[in-house]
């Protein structure tokens, strides 16, 4: 059996990933935990690979590792106080100019605060403002790890797109054996390289994504709409942007994100915008729930209640945006969505043939645990040849990642 010394294995790893991390800005957040001493090794791994490393710590972290040690290894100032301002930028904003934020060890306290938007120290304030990938590496006692509130908080973070590197089982600092030991520095390093590699997956691509249920006006105070929350479209936009794409989100509501957002409440407004952008983008993903009908005659004044017990509205068909842009036969890749309450696969096959799009994402809206207004989804991806791939139930954030990987493979 061939035996390789750990130092040799590490040197192979670093040479393999050198071009990936050279010049990258790595931000490491350290919280109060005995595993904090291992972050010194992690900093050395990043520095050897050519990355620029900055460190932000919680006050309790300094009980386990000193500022001088961290500054010597990172060759940068270490930040711990929100009021350490050397230029015009508040530090929690200046620190966000990094490619990835790794919080290790991440204590139960910090995880809970992150999941609930609490910003009572510099590390938490930085995480709240950070728009690029965040990797959480928990470390804690087994009973704390298994606490349902801690697990709920981790689930919330996963749903919001945080990456979680779950702890190992083994001998813990408290003298017991169990799950809660922080993953080793080389594992954290590998995970961050994996995230950053995926982060460049769509570099150079321009993608337009639609989101939300359109609102077809009846009068100044009333409209026809549907139950779509737009969560799937938002997840696609954020993941595409994180993977390096230039994203335009055409949505029925204002959305926060590092992408262009054009608000188009109605189907006709969305049609106009999508068509105007069609030749400027590499791909259109029609995740919006576009109303099939609109009111034929909009009333500019509020319709008053009358003595009649009924009111009749005449409806006309809205434009079929997906079919229209597919029929234009451009070089743009077109992806549609299909929300069905019955015969999901059969209806999806008929729809992709009728619409002529390149891919169709089908999901079952009759299920209460997925689809409209849920944080989770389960979908089928169909192509023009009617090949079908199922993406099992997962968070909409993870489903969005998988969809992007599949359609751009």
Kindly list the catalytic residues.
174
Place of tokens 């938490």: 124
At 406, list the tokens: 């599949």
Place of tokens 């408290």: 174
Cross-strand pairs, 171: 177
Q: Name the residue among 306, 289, 298, 388 with its Cα closest to residue 340.
A: 289
Place of tokens 């304030």: 125
* Cβ–Cβ under 8 Å, residues 99 and 25: yes
The backbone region for 394, taken as left when phi is positive above 0, alpha when psi lies in -120 to 50, beta otherwise, is beta
Strands 246-251 and 206-211: parallel
Cα atoms found within 13 Å of the Cα of residue 60, Cβ hemisphere only: 12
Q: Name the residue among 109, 118, 188, 121 with its Cα closest to residue 150.
A: 109
* Cβ–Cβ under 8 Å, residues 138 and 145: yes
Separation CA 300–CA 204 (nearest Å) = 45
Which secondary-structure segment (H or E) carries 139? none
Separation CA 150–CA 115 (nearest Å) = 10
Burial tier of 247 (Cβ tally within 10 Å: 0-12, 13-18, 19+): buried
Query: Rounded to the nearest 5 degrees, what angle is found at the Cα of 134, between the Cα atoms of 131 and 136?
Result: 155
């Amino acid at each position: 059996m061939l035996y390789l010394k750990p130092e040799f294995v590490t040197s192979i790893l670093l040479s393999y990933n050198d071009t990936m991390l050279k010049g990258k800005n790595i931000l490491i957040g350290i919280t109060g935990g005995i595993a904090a001493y291992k972050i010194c090794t992690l900093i050395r791994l990043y520095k050897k690979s050519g990355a620029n490393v900055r460190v932000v710590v919680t006050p309790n972290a300094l009980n386990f590792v000193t500022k001088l040690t961290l500054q010597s290894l990172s060759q940068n100032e270490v930040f711990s106080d929100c009021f350490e301002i050397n230029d015009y930028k508040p530090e929690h904003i200046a620190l966000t100019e990094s490619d990835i934020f790794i919080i290790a060890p991440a204590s139960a306290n910090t995880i809970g605060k992150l999941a609930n938007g609490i910003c009572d120290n510099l590390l938490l304030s930085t995480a709240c403002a950070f728009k690029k990938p965040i990797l959480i590496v928990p470390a804690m006692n087994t009973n704390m790890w298994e606490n349902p509130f801690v697990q709920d908080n981790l689930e919330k973070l996963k749903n919001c797109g945080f990456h979680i590197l779950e702890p190992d089982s083994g001998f813990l600092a408290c003298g017991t054996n169990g799950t809660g030991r922080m993953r080793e520095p080389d594992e954290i390093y590998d995970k961050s390289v994996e995230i950053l590699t995926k982060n460049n997956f769509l570099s150079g691509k321009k993608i337009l994504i639609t989101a939300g249920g359109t609102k077809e006006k009846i009068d100044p105070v009333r409209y026809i709409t549907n139950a779509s929350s737009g969560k799937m479209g938002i997840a696609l936009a954020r993941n595409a942007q994180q993977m390096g794409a230039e994203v335009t989100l055409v949505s029925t509501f204002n959305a926060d994100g590092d992408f262009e957002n054009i608000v188009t409440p109605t189907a006709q407004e969305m049609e106009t915008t999508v068509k105007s952008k069609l030749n400027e983008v590499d791909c259109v993903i029609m995740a919006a729930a576009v109303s099939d009908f609109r009111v034929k005659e909009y009333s500019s004044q509020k319709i008053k209640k009358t003595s009649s017990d009924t009111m009749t509205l005449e409806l006309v068909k809205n434009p079929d945006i997906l079919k229209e842009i597919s029929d234009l036969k451009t070089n743009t890749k077109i992806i549609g969505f299909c929300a069905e309450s019955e015969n999901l696969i059969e209806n999806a096959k008929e729809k992709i043939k009728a619409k002529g799009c390149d891919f169709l994402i089908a999901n079952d809206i009759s299920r209460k645990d997925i689809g409209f207004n849920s944080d989770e989804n389960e979908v089928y991806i169909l192509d023009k040849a009617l090949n079908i791939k199922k993406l099992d139930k997962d968070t909409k954030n993870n489903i969005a990642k998988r969809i992007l990987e599949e359609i751009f493979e």
